[in-house]
Amino acid sequence: MSSPLERLSAGALGWLGGNLDYFDPFSASARSATHGKAKAALELALLCHCAARLADPPEALGGAGALVRKLWQDPDLPQLFSDVPKYASTYGLIYAALAPDGIDATQVRATLARLDPEFLSPRGKSPYQRIEIRHYADKAAVRHTVEPYAELLPHSPLVAFRAAGPGEAASEDGAPEDGAPLTDPRAYAVTHTAFYLGDFGRTAPGLDGGALAHARDLVDRLLRHCVEHDRWDLAAELVLTQFILGSEPLDTPSGAAAVECLVRAQRPDGAIPARSAALAAHPSAPGGEFFGKAYHTTLVTALMALIVSSPRRS
């Protein structure tokens, strides 16, 4: 009998593979908002990039990989980033970092050439933003002036953020809802920081001693709250974060409970219907509307399940 992680992975990959038209920003099925079109394509590329590094890459991602290779050589894709000025530099850098091996990199080189050097500097950016830029800039082999990770770690969300206590004053992001340990923006900053420092499970994040113990405790608190409130998307990210921090998620009560929560949430077609139970799409929602609500959490669940169920690199 397959394990819960294997069932999650197989179901999610099956659903993603059956909905590739929605990931293609130039197909008739694509989302109408330019921001959404670009984001979906980049997230699919991230899944393919991480899966390709596994010892046994899943065959179910063959169609997704072919779509990403086609899109990354299309001169119209970088133009989508320019059409969203707020995210243009970030999307352009991620696009270059996730370029598949062996493609015609003409568009990638042109996109990198358009990046403002100021974007690749630490000035005016939070430690989290600097970690994100350094991760993708290093992966894209582009020059930058961001500090080494060792200098950023003490100020990173994994180390600097503290769980809110009862009646505690709100952070600059506001007060956490439903008794959550952190606000949503801060919780996602914690998981994404771990992803970047640990290269999505490829390397150790550089934490030890008290800093590592603090990060693990914070993630455990967040995860228990997500399970209690059926926060599926953040739960999947936190399980992957546990793995990156050196734990075996299924051997922890919170990690095992989160995987069970995701198994319950997964539909027979493999989709996780939204970021949370409260936001779930109606079963009769049109295909495009359902995709918009379901694709991100389904993709993150597939990414988590693939990485956590694979052997760690020695």
CB 38 within 8 A of CB 87: yes
**Residue 69 or 37, more confident:** 69
- pLDDT of 43 strictly over 90: yes
Query: What is the pLDDT at residue 170?
Result: 44
> pLDDT tens digit string along 205-230?
999 999 999 999 999 999 999 999 99
CB neighbours of 82 closer than 8 A, spacing ≥ 6? 88
Q: What is the pLDDT of residues 116-136, one digit of tens each?
A: 999 999 999 999 999 999 999
Identity of residue 75? P
* Geometric angle at alpha carbon 164, from 161 and 165, rounded to 5°: 145
pLDDT tens column, 250-301: 999 999 999 999 999 999 999 999 999 999 988 889 999 999 999 999 999 9
Among the listed residues 106, 107, 104, 111, the one whose alpha carbon sits nearest the alpha carbon of residue 88: 111
Predicted pLDDT of residue 180: 94
Query: Rounded to whole angstroms, what are the CA distances from 265 to 12, 31, 192, 301, 307?
Result: 11, 24, 23, 11, 20
pTM over 0.75: yes
Contact 110, 57 (CB under 8 A): no
Radius of gyration of the chain (CA): 19
pLDDT value of residue 171? 57
pLDDT tens per residue across span 138-183? 999 999 999 999 999 999 999 999 998 765 644 556 667 778 999 9
Q: What is the mean pLDDT of residues 32-49?
A: 90
Q: What is the pLDDT of residue 169?
A: 47
HSE-up of 148 (CA within 13 Å, CB side)? Answer: 3
> Residue 174 in 3-state DSSP?
strand
Mean pLDDT value across the chain? 95
